[in-house]
A and B are shown apart, each in its own frame.
Chain A
């Protein structure tokens, strides 16, 4: 089955740029989606189809995807961005299609 690999944690100072990676075999050929989850809350979609933003998500959130790595970039990080972030794809490459989530990355705002 398809595997997505994320760093367990990323730390960044307020106002700086955070980059969270998501590794997978030839992930550049898939559409990658990113979710933000704060403690005790349901996840929220922040980037979909590699780099699109849902309405209501600040432009500070952006995404890219190429080769074996997709990246979520959060510019001008704020304290309110502290959360767990998950990448996700739909794996249709096998005879057993299904959703796949990365293990999640905890973003800490210093």
Chain B
């Protein structure tokens, strides 16, 4: 099955600086890669996603890049703000015709004032 590795587990950045979170996946058949933000005790919420036929996608301060050859994708947050503090999860679709998402273990992003 699919395996998703996510790094780092904790990331602390100064307010206004950029943050980058990286993920790798194992199944070359995966074709959908969402990123979720989860605040403490709340549900995960989709912040951006990318499909395998696209190399980069941006939405205001958030961008995702995908390298299919290397099987890794990254989340970039620019001009970080206090409200960006949360746990971020990357995910990928499984191979073999199965459904559902395989998640990384999460990155706790801390924005220092």
A binds B: no
